[in-house]
A and B are shown apart, each in its own frame.
Chain A
Amino acid sequence: MADKPTTVKITIDGQELEVPPGTLVIRAAEQLGTIVPRFCDHRLLAPLGACRQCLVEVAGQRKPLTACTTTVTDGMEVKTQVTSEVARAGQEGNLELLLINHPLDCPMCDKGGECPLQDQTLAHGPGETRFVETKRHYQKPIKISETVLLDRERCVLCARCTRFSSEIAGDPFIELFERGALEQVAIYEDEPYESHYSGNVVQICPVGALTSPSYRFQARPFDLSSADGVCNHCAAGCNLRIDARRGMVTRQLARDNDDVNEAWNCDRGRYGFAYAQSPNRVLIPHLSEDGKLRTASWSEALRRAADGIRAAKGKGVGVLVGGHLTDQDAYALQKLARVALGTNNVDARSWSEDEEGAAAAASVAGRGPEDGMPTYRDLEAARAVVVVDLDPHEESPILWLRLRKAAMRRGVPVVAVGSRPGRLAEFATVVATRPGGQAEALGRLGRGDGDAGKLLTEGDGEVIVLAGWRGGATGGLAAAARLAAALGGRFAWVPRRAGDRGALDAGARPGLLPGGRPVGDAAARGELAEAWGAELPDGPGLDGPAMVAAAAAGELGVLVLAGVDLHRDHGPRELAAQALERAFVIAVDHEVNDTTSQADVLLPGVVHAETEGTFTDWEGRVQATHRAVPVGGAAQEIWDLAAQLAARLGTDLGFAGPGLAAAELERFRKRPPGAAAVPEPAPPAVPEPAPPAVPEPAPPVHGAPTGRVAAGEDGGESLSTPPSSGAGEPENDGLELVTYPLLLDAASMLARAADLNRETPGAFVELHPDDAGRLGLADGASAEVDFGEERTARLPVRVAPTVAPGCAFVPANQPDLALGALLGPSPALRVKVTAVEEAAA
C-alpha cells in the first residue's frame, strides 16, 4: 500500500493536476473543464479508441494520442486542442474525415439539435467541406428491432452500441461487420436484436444512426420541456428525463444517477408512457346509473361516493391500494381507511403472503440506505449476493444489470434460488427449487452445503440477500431473511411494482402503520392517533385477497380500488366479478377497464407524468418524480381525492395544500428508533433449515424437491439428488405452476406503446428439458395446459434449462392469456401439460 502512490501529477495545458493512477487523460482533462471532443468514449464503457476524435499531444510522443485510451503517467505533459495546434489540427482533420461519408441530412435526423457530431463539428471542425464526390448510400432506415431503427449512413463506427450490448447488457446481437468504408453496424442473420435494454443504445449513439420509432420525427429538442422523473414501472427506481411537447410526453430518457441506474434504463420504462393518451383514459368522474356509467361533476361523484360509504359501511370497508401509486397516494389512502373509515382493511398487495414472509417484508419497512439497507453499490462490493424467488431480468431489469456488473466485473458470486431465475442463470450459480422448496434450499446454503453454500459462508465481506415478492407465498421470503441473519448479512425485499415498497413504508398494510409500526403496538397507535387527531382501529385488518374474497361473499360493503384492476390483479374473473357486483365500488383510476366500468363511482386519477410525488425503490431510496405535463382533463392527484373523500365523510385528513401529505409522510416514514416495535422474522437467526412454511406439495416426483445447482456455464453440480429420470414414475402427473408477469406484458401502463406491444411475446409454457423430454414436447411444439377445474389453455412450448425441473412456467399477464384473471394471484397449482398434435394450421 505505502509504496504505491495514490495520485500522480500531470500537466494539462500548463495546469498541474493530481489524479489517481489509471485515470484516463480525457477524464483528467474534464476535471479542468476541458472537454476533449469524443464519440466512442463513454464513462461506463471500456475504452476502445475507435473514433480517433480525442487526439491530444503528449510531450515525448511522436504522434498525437487518443485521450480516451491513454492513462496518465507521473509527470505526463498533455496539450489538448486548447494549447496545441497539433491536437487541434488532428481533431479537425478527423472530423472532416468522419463527415466525408456522413449524409448530412441533419434537417430530417432526429438527433439534429442535440447531436454530438453537429456540436463538435461546430466547435472543432472545419468550416467548409472539400468533399465533392458521391457519398456512400445505404437503404435507410433499417429496422433492427421493434424499438430501434438503424441508419447506416449516419454511423460513425464508434462501437458504443455494440459495446453496450456486449459489455453492459450481454446481448451481443448488434455488431460491427465488414471493414473500411463498408464497415457498418448490423445484426446477426437470424437473431433479432431483442433486448430489454435496447433503448439505451439509441440514447448513447452519438449521431442519429440509431433512433427509436416512437420518437421518430415527433419533436426537436427545442420543442421539448423536460421534467425529472422516476420510473413508475418497477421497483428498480430508474431516474428518468421526461420530455413533453404540447402537453404530451414524447419520449423518456434515462437520467444519470450512479447510485441507482447509472446511465441506463429498460425499454418498458423508456417507452411505456403513451397510455396517458389511451382511448380508455378517463378524464371526468363517472357514476353508474342503470348499470351504465354516466359522467358527473366532481361534487356529485364525491357525494355519491360518501353516501355509498355511509350506507354500506356497517358491513365493512376495504381499501385496495394499487402498485403504481406514489408514496403520498398510498399514505393518504391508508390514512383515509384508518381515520375516516375506521378500518385496518387496507393493503397494497395483490398476492398472499404467509405470516413469516409478511414479517420479513415488514422488517425493511421504513428503512432506507441511510438505515443500513443494502444498495446497488453495495451489491458490487458484497462477498456474495443471494437472489431468492426473483427473475430480475423480467421483474427489475436494472437490478439485473447491476448484478451482472457485480458478477462479471467485480467477480461477486451470485446465487439464484428459485423456480425460474431467468437470465440470472447467465452469471449466477443456480439453485433450482420447486415452489415451496426455497426454504429448505436456503437452509442448506446457510449451512455451507455445496459449492453455492461455500460461496456464501467463506471469504470476507458481507452477503446480501435479495428476496422477491413472490417469496411471500413460497416461504422464500422468510427463509431469505433468516439466511441473511444467519450469515450476518443484509436483507432486502425486492417488490415488482414501483409503488410496492413505498406502500409498505406508508403503512398500506392491514398490520402495519406508517414506518413499519405494527398496528398491534398500542404505543405506535397512540403516537399516530395523537398526530392524526383520531382514534385508530386496533382490530386486525384483512389483506388484499381476503378483502376481495369477503366482498365477493357479501361480507364487505364497500371496496375502494385505487389503481387496482380487480380482474387482473385479484382474479379469478368470477370472484372479481362477484366482488364488484356485491360491494359498493369506488374506483380511482386512469382508465376504463373491465373493473372500473363496473364501479359505482369512477374517479379519474392522474397518470405518472402528471403527478408530483416520490417513489421508493427496493433499496428504500426515496426519489422525487415531477410533473412533466399538465393534468389531463378533470383528473386529480390520488392523495387529494382521498382527502376530498374523507372531507365528505366529515374527516379532515389535513392535506389541504400540495406538499402536506408529503411532509406528513416524511414525518412518519422512518422506522421509529428503538426497534422493539419491529417484528423480527421468526425464528430469528436459525441456521437450521426451518420446515417450509408452505406445506410441501405432496409427492416428491423426481427425488428431492430441491433440484440442481447448475454452476454457470460449466455444467452442474448436485446439491441433492438430481431429479431421477424414469424408473417407476407415473407418466404425467403434473408439474408445479410458476407464474409471474414478464417485463413486456399486457399491462395497462403499456397501452399504446406500440413498439413494445409488437415485441411482447404471447403466452407460452416453459419447461425444463428433462420434463419436456419426458412429456415428449419439443421447443416450439404446442401443448394443452390443464390448470384444473376445467381451465385449460393451448400454448406454445418453450424448453429452457432456466426453469426448475418439475415446474412449468406460464407468464401471468400476456395479451393472449391473462392468467391472473383465469386463476387468481399466486396460485399454488399443479398443472398438466400434454402435447397436442398440430393439425396443419
Chain B
Amino acid sequence: MMPSEILKGLSVTFRSMFRKRNTVQYPEEKRPTSPRFHGRHQLNRYPDGLERCIGCELCAYACPADAIYVQGADNTPEARYSVGERYAAIYQINYNRCIFCGLCIEACPTRALTMTNEYELSSPTRQGLVYDKPDLLAAVPAGAKPPPHTDATDGPPAIARYGPQASVSQESVEPVWALLREQESRQADRELPADEGVAK
C-alpha cells in the first residue's frame, strides 16, 4: 500500500477534526426539531376552553398500530366538554405502540388532534407510556374556563362560534328560515316532547 493512499485516507480524518461539530450534550443541551416533526400528540381546545375532540374514534380507526382508545359519551346541558352531542370520556394514546405516522392527525375531522414536537417520551414502565386525556390536552387558554361548561351559565354552543361560518348566503335564505323556525316551533309545541338531549 502506497503512503500517498494512507495520507489520502487520513486527510478525511483531519478534515473532519476541524469541521463544525454536530454532537450536542443532549440532556443539558437540546436542538430544536424541524417544525413538522412528529412528536407527542395534543388534544386542542377552542378559545373558550371546550375540547375540540368529539370522541368520534376516527383517529383510532385510522391508526395502523392500534394505539388509540377512545370511549365516547354524551355531553349534557349540565356538563359540556365539547361542542356537539358527543365527547371523549376516555382518550388514551399508547406510546408503546405509536409509530408516529400521523395518520390519526389526518383522520381527525375537527382538528382536535395534532402533534407537538415533543419527543422526550420515555418511561420506566409500560403503563407510564399510556397517555391519558389530561396528559394530552392542551392548556386552557388564558381567560377561558376549563370544561365542563354548563349551558345555563356558558350558553349553548352555537355553530357560528366554532365552525367555519355557518352560511355564506345567510341573508338570501333568512325569510325561508324564519318560516321554518316558526313552523318548527309550532310543531314542537304541538307534539314533540321537550328536548331530552342536547341543543344543536
Q: B-facing mask of A137-150, CB < 8 A → 1, else 0? A: 11111111000010
B139 CB, nearest partner CB in chain A, Å: 25
Q: Which of A132, A134, A143, A217 contacts B55 (CB 8 A)?
A: A217
B119 CB, nearest partner CB in chain A, Å: 29
Stretch among B13-21, B140-148, B184-192 lining the A interface: B184-192
Contact indicator B85/A137 (Cβ below 8 Å): no
Contact (A108, B197) CB under 8 Å given A132-B168, A182-B180: no
* CA A184 to CA B183, docked complex, whole Å: 12
Instruction: Report the nearest B residue to A150, measured CB to CB.
Output: B192
Contact indicator A140/B85 (Cβ below 8 Å): yes
* CA A119 to CA B3, docked complex, whole Å: 74
* CA A113 to CA B58, docked complex, whole Å: 10
B180 CB, nearest partner CB in chain A, Å: 7
Is A181 located at the chain interface by the 8 A CB criterion?
Answer: yes
Q: Which of A134, A140, A182 contacts B167 (CB 8 A)?
A: A134
Chain A hits for B187, CB < 8 A: 177-178, 182, 184, 186
Q: Which of B74, B166, B177, B200 contacts A139 (CB 8 A)?
A: B200
Q: Which of A139, A142, A181, A216 contacts B180 (CB 8 A)?
A: A181
Stretch among A218-226, A477-485, A772-780 lining the B interface: A218-226
Is A133 located at the chain interface by the 8 A CB criterion?
Answer: yes
Contact (A186, B191) CB under 8 Å given A134-B167, A149-B197: yes
Chain A hits for B196, CB < 8 A: 141-143, 149
Contact (A137, B200) CB under 8 Å given A112-B56, A217-B86: yes
Contact indicator B197/A189 (Cβ below 8 Å): no
* CA A608 to CA B55, docked complex, whole Å: 30
Contact (A140, B197) CB under 8 Å given A108-B86, A133-B169, A133-B173: yes
Give the size range of B's interface with the partner.
Answer: 35 or more
* CA A133 to CA B172, docked complex, whole Å: 9
* CA A177 to CA B183, docked complex, whole Å: 12
Is A187 located at the chain interface by the 8 A CB criterion?
Answer: yes
Is A105 located at the chain interface by the 8 A CB criterion?
Answer: yes
Chain B hits for A136, CB < 8 A: 180
The count of A-to-B residue pairs whose CB atoms sit within 8 angstroms is 89
Contact indicator B195/A216 (Cβ below 8 Å): no
Contact (A189, B54) CB under 8 Å given A133-B173, A216-B74: no
Instruction: Report the nearest A residue to B82, measured CB to CB.
Output: A108
Q: A-facing mask of B169-184, CB < 8 A → 1, else 0? A: 1101100010010011
Mark out the residues of chain A between 207 and 223 whose CB falls within 8 Å of any chain B CB in the assembled complex: 216-218, 220, 222-223
B138 CB, nearest partner CB in chain A, Å: 20
* CA A216 to CA B173, docked complex, whole Å: 33
Contact indicator A138/B173 (Cβ below 8 Å): no
Q: Which of A105, A112, A143, A186 contacts B84 (CB 8 A)?
A: A105
Chain B hits for A188, CB < 8 A: 191
Contact indicator A217/B180 (Cβ below 8 Å): no
* CA A697 to CA B122, docked complex, whole Å: 82
Q: A-facing mask of B47-62, CB < 8 A → 1, else 0? A: 0000000111110110
Is A107 located at the chain interface by the 8 A CB criterion?
Answer: yes
B153 CB, nearest partner CB in chain A, Å: 21
Contact indicator A108/B84 (Cβ below 8 Å): yes
B83 CB, nearest partner CB in chain A, Å: 10
Contact indicator A138/B110 (Cβ below 8 Å): no
Instruction: Report the nearest A residue to B188, measured CB to CB.
Output: A139
Chain B hits for A142, CB < 8 A: 192-193, 195-197
Chain B hits for A133, CB < 8 A: 167-169, 172-173
A329 CB, nearest partner CB in chain B, Å: 34
Is B199 located at the chain interface by the 8 A CB criterion?
Answer: yes
Contact indicator B109/A107 (Cβ below 8 Å): yes
Chain B hits for A222, CB < 8 A: 61
Contact indicator B191/A217 (Cβ below 8 Å): no
Contact indicator B192/A186 (Cβ below 8 Å): yes
Contact indicator A189/B190 (Cβ below 8 Å): yes
Is B198 located at the chain interface by the 8 A CB criterion?
Answer: yes
Contact indicator A107/B85 (Cβ below 8 Å): no
* CA A142 to CA B184, docked complex, whole Å: 13
Chain B hits for A107, CB < 8 A: 54, 56, 58, 109-110
B39 CB, nearest partner CB in chain A, Å: 25
* CA A218 to CA B74, docked complex, whole Å: 10
B51 CB, nearest partner CB in chain A, Å: 13
Mark out the residues of chain B between 69 and 87 whose CB falls within 8 Å of any chain A CB in the assembled complex: 71-74, 84-86
Chain A hits for B183, CB < 8 A: 178, 182
* CA A218 to CA B73, docked complex, whole Å: 7
* CA A140 to CA B156, docked complex, whole Å: 13
Chain A hits for B191, CB < 8 A: 177, 186-189
Contact indicator B188/A217 (Cβ below 8 Å): no
Chain A hits for B199, CB < 8 A: 139
* CA A112 to CA B58, docked complex, whole Å: 10
Instruction: Report the nearest A residue to B109, measured CB to CB.
Output: A107
Chain B hits for A113, CB < 8 A: 61
Q: Which of B58, B61, B71, B169 contacts A132 (CB 8 A)?
A: B169
Contact (A134, B177) CB under 8 Å given A107-B109, A140-B197, A188-B191: yes
Chain A hits for B200, CB < 8 A: 137-140
Contact (A139, B173) CB under 8 Å given A134-B166, A181-B180, A222-B61: no
Contact indicator A218/B72 (Cβ below 8 Å): yes
Instruction: Report the nearest A residue to B179, measured CB to CB.
Output: A182
Instruction: Report the nearest B residue to A190, measured CB to CB.
Output: B191
Contact indicator A217/B192 (Cβ below 8 Å): no
Instruction: Report the nearest B residue to A139, measured CB to CB.
Output: B195
B126 CB, nearest partner CB in chain A, Å: 18
* CA A803 to CA B196, docked complex, whole Å: 36
* CA A128 to CA B55, docked complex, whole Å: 26
A17 CB, nearest partner CB in chain B, Å: 39
* CA A186 to CA B197, docked complex, whole Å: 16
Contact (A143, B197) CB under 8 Å given A133-B167, A216-B74: yes
Contact (A143, B193) CB under 8 Å given A138-B200, A181-B180, A218-B72: yes
A158 CB, nearest partner CB in chain B, Å: 20
Contact indicator B61/A220 (Cβ below 8 Å): yes
Contact indicator A140/B198 (Cβ below 8 Å): yes
Contact indicator A108/B192 (Cβ below 8 Å): no
Instruction: Report the nearest A residue to B191, measured CB to CB.
Output: A189
* CA A221 to CA B188, docked complex, whole Å: 33
* CA A63 to CA B168, docked complex, whole Å: 35
Instruction: Report the nearest A residue to B86, measured CB to CB.
Output: A108
Instruction: Report the nearest B residue to A216, measured CB to CB.
Output: B74
Contact indicator A217/B72 (Cβ below 8 Å): yes
* CA A220 to CA B170, docked complex, whole Å: 35
B85 CB, nearest partner CB in chain A, Å: 6
Mark out the residues of chain A between 107 and 124 whose CB falls within 8 Å of any chain B CB in the assembled complex: 107-108, 112-113
Q: Which of B57, B73, B184 contacts A223 (CB 8 A)?
A: B57
B44 CB, nearest partner CB in chain A, Å: 15
B187 CB, nearest partner CB in chain A, Å: 7
Chain B hits for A139, CB < 8 A: 188, 192, 195, 199-200
Instruction: Report the nearest B residue to A221, measured CB to CB.
Output: B61
Instruction: Report the nearest B residue to A103, measured CB to CB.
Output: B200
Instruction: Report the nearest A residue to B169, measured CB to CB.
Output: A133
Contact indicator A134/B193 (Cβ below 8 Å): no
Chain A hits for B197, CB < 8 A: 140-143, 149
A773 CB, nearest partner CB in chain B, Å: 33
* CA A132 to CA B109, docked complex, whole Å: 19
* CA A222 to CA B184, docked complex, whole Å: 37
Chain B hits for A149, CB < 8 A: 196-197
Chain B hits for A217, CB < 8 A: 55, 72-74, 85-86
Known: A105-B84, A138-B200, A188-B191. 8 other contacts (CB 8 A): A134-B170, A139-B188, A139-B192, A140-B200, A143-B197, A177-B191, A218-B72, A220-B61
Q: Sorted from nearest, which 6 A-B pairs have the closest CB atoms?
A: A217-B72, A107-B56, A143-B196, A108-B86, A134-B167, A189-B191
Interface, chain A (partner B; CB < 8 A): 105, 107-108, 112-113, 132-134, 136-144, 149, 177-178, 181-182, 184, 186-189, 216-218, 220, 222-223
5 A–B contacts, CB within 8 A, in A order: A107-B56, A140-B198, A181-B180, A187-B191, A217-B86
